[in-house]
Amino acid sequence: MMRIKSIHIDSLFGYFNHKIEMKDKITIIHGLNGYGKTTILKILDSIFNKNYEELVFIPFKTITLEFSEDNKLIFTKKTIKKKKNLDAIEIELTGTNSAKGVLGSYYCVDGKIERLDAQDRLLDLYGKFLTYETFKHIEYSRRRDYIRRRRDLSSKRHYGRYGRIQPDRDFFFDRTKPDEIKWFHELTSEISVRFIQTQRLISFTLDDEDSEEKISEAVVNYSNEVAQKIKNLRSESTTIFESLDRTYPRRLIDYLEKGERNEIDIESLVSKMSALEKQRLNLINVGILDAEQEHQLVPIKSGEISTDDRIKYVLLLHIEDTERKLGIFDELYNRIGLLTEIINKRFKYKKLKIDKNEGFILTTNEDMKLDVSDISSGEKHMLVVFYELLFETKPDSLILIDEPELSLHVAWQQDFLDNLFKISEVNNMEFLIATHSPQIINDKWDLTVCLEGPDDTSCNE
């Protein structure tokens, strides 16, 4: 598996030179405010999730990524004069074996790349590129930002919010055609990156009907999502079981006629039946199966099974079919089990259960049901972060987490890394964390990288 070995950023914000050697599984970066911890995470997110426009707004000279298998990738930012009042900021690429290319160019008038102060200026600069729908998104976002923050929408903020949904997303950033830098896309596609940002409790989605942004709570969305995941798998399991049920007579006859399994151990059959019943009960306990609808597997003792091979073939085929039906839930069961284990060890006077219809169900010790929206900010942060890690990330991913300590009690911070190690065993993930909290680090200072500034000795204090 390809992984990042080191990150070197030269002249970040004009004066920081940071070198991060990645540790095994978890790397923690810390340092004073303004030293670029969050920015480093944004850089990696931009590169591996193809949000290249973000790199335009981050002041740096070069970014060097060293990978396993002796691969290297260098990003160099340059300003090139195009016309009298037109500049282009180009991001050049250098790869292994001197591979070269240009990621793209950002065109700006009179060097003004940070702000689009009004609709008329936007139209003046980029009017020929804009469609009505694009302008509608920009106008809406500018108005909402002005009301909320009493200032106009910057081009950087426009990219962050609307870059992925505007019809002409490249009218600011002229990307190089993928075929021209194929080596770059092949290299970066080998690493999956997910960025869990500080703003993680609110979800922004675009309504297809009115093209306006909808705001909802992430914890509510994930509650609905896990219920849908269960329903989808139950439907798939039913389809498999119906198929097996239809073909059961034919497969049984084939078994009996061919006699492929000459030795069937009775004790093995009994053991498998017992294991299946335990698996069924576990799936009921985590909310995947219904106790009322799932018939109990009647326990059979070894002395009750005839030595007649035909009887053993019938039982064996039934066991194999049930294993296929229940096996489809194995991955989901493991993830739900770990999520509820982590959460229920930390939540006090309440308990999390998963339900196939309602998703997250929270109850007090007196069995009073709680609305998931009413739990504390810290509890929401805990639930959202660990749900994303277990259900929203691909295996073998690099996970970027910004300030995991937000709203968490000290005791919850102290065992945060231990929980990451547990999750890493499930998904084989790697983590890069930016934090201010010594409680998050706890006793794992060997996993840290301290960011320093010029003539700064804070890391030695």
Residue spans of the domains in the chain: they are 214-378
Q: Are 253 and 317 in contact (CB under 8 A)?
A: no
Distance, in Å, from the CA atom of 437 to the CA atom of 406, rounded to the nearest integer, reads 10
* pLDDT at res. 292: 64
Average pLDDT over residues 73-85: 79
Tens of pLDDT, residue by residue over 185-227, are 999 999 999 999 999 998 876 555 555 667 889 999 999 999 9
272 Rama sector, left if φ>0, alpha if ψ -120 to 50, beta otherwise: alpha
**Residue 310 CA from chain centroid, whole number:** 50
Chain mean pLDDT for the chain: 81
Whole-angstrom distance, CA of residue 5 vs CA of residue 241? 46
CB under 8 Å, gap of 24 or more: what pairs does 425-428 form? 426/334, 426/335, 426/338, 426/390, 427/389, 427/390, 427/393, 427/394, 427/395, 427/396, 427/397, 428/1, 428/395, 428/396
pLDDT of residue 164 exceeding 50: no
Give the tens place of pLDDT for each residue, 296-345: 555 565 555 556 667 777 888 888 888 998 999 999 999 999 999 999 99
Q: What is the pTM of this model?
A: 0.82
For every residue of 117-178, DSSP letters joined together read --HHHHHHHHGGG--HHHHHHHHHHHHHHHHHHSSPPBHHHHHHHHTTTSTTTTSSEEEPPG
Q: Give the C-alpha separation, 111 to 119, whole Å.
A: 19
Range list of H helices, 193-265: 218-258
Comparing C-alpha atoms, which of 413, 448, 430 is closest to residue 28? 448
Residue carrying the six token digits 């439907």: 235
